[in-house]
Amino acid sequence: MGNYYRAGYFGESSVSDIDVCVNIPNFRCEVCGQHEIVNYYNYPQFDAKSVLNEDLVSKLGPRIGKRSSDGEIFEIAMQLRRVFKVPVTAGTIFGPTRLRVTSRPKADFYVLVQHAGLFCRRSAVQKLLADGLKIEFVESPASGKWASEAGYVELVVPVIAHQKLPSGVTFCGDCFRHTSKVSFPTVLIQPGEAELQIPFFKTIEDGIIIFHKWFIETAKRLSLTGFVDGKTILSIDCAQLDCIRQVKSQ
């Protein structure tokens, strides 16, 4: 068994619907030609509206008010990238995601489809913090009959790690998207010192949430629920730091 897991499918959930604050619409990259959303970086701790004026915000999702060109959306993404100093591309989400909780919660942890957000019940976060783990989170606005009992907060997942890309797949340093049209196995490139100090993080290439084995073991020791081997968490391989990645420099 390896030292890392990737998030799997958290299908059995009390969450029936979501609504994001702001997200970057799709755009075609002038450099690599990619025109699809391939990953979902999410930054619940950052407010895009604090950086952009009203006119620029109206060009963003989830409810786009003004049409714009590919170049305009790319420039907005670049502006947010420069200010917040994080990867930003088509599909990137800013601000806390709103949840609709319509059934009794069955687990402490929940990951949105396509790794677009990591949520945890407040009681579970308090146990992790008391155990000494360094975790950042934001309040998650929620509605629905069971919202109060669920008490979900959204965890901040840094986008800092790298993964090995299969032969023929490249990563564009301009738009921050890979070129593959099909899914591929997650092979984590051996994390550096920064990643070793935090319990979970995302990869830049595919936006996949990765958990340290010691974090999963800690959660289970504290009797926190939601992580199921082979289902909600999947063991992954790890490549060495000198692994050659096909990355196009910006």
Residue-level pLDDT at 242: 54
- Cα–Cα distance for residue pair 15/189, rounded to 1 Å: 33
Q: Are the beta carbons of 14 and 63 closer than 8 angstroms? A: no
Tokens of 125: 């976060």
Q: What is the mean pLDDT of residues 237-250?
A: 55
Residue-level pLDDT at 241: 55
pLDDT greater than 80 at residue 247: no
Q: Is residue 142 part of a domain?
A: no
Q: Is residue 167 part of a domain?
A: yes
Largest CA distance in the chain: 51
pTM summary value: 0.92
CA distances from 66 to 54, 63, 160 (A): 11, 9, 32
- Cα–Cα distance for residue pair 206/41, rounded to 1 Å: 9
Tokens of 182: 């099909």
Q: What is the mean pLDDT of residues 162-179?
A: 96
Q: Is residue 39 part of a domain?
A: no
Q: What is the mean pLDDT of residues 6-29?
A: 94
Q: Is residue 125 part of a domain?
A: no
Helix (H, G, I), strand (E, B) or coil at 223: coil
Q: How many domains are there within the chain? A: 1
pLDDT greater than 90 at residue 190: no
The string of pLDDT tens digits covering residues 51-101 is 999 999 999 999 999 999 999 999 999 999 999 999 999 999 999 999 999
Q: Is residue 38 part of a domain?
A: no
Please identify which residue in the block is written with the tokens 């959306």.
73
| pLDDT tier, 246 (very low <50, low <70, confident <90, very high otherwise) | very low
DSSP state of 222: T
Residue-level pLDDT at 249: 34
239 lies in which domain range? 4-12+160-248
CA distances from 26 to 37, 185, 197, 226 (A): 6, 24, 33, 32
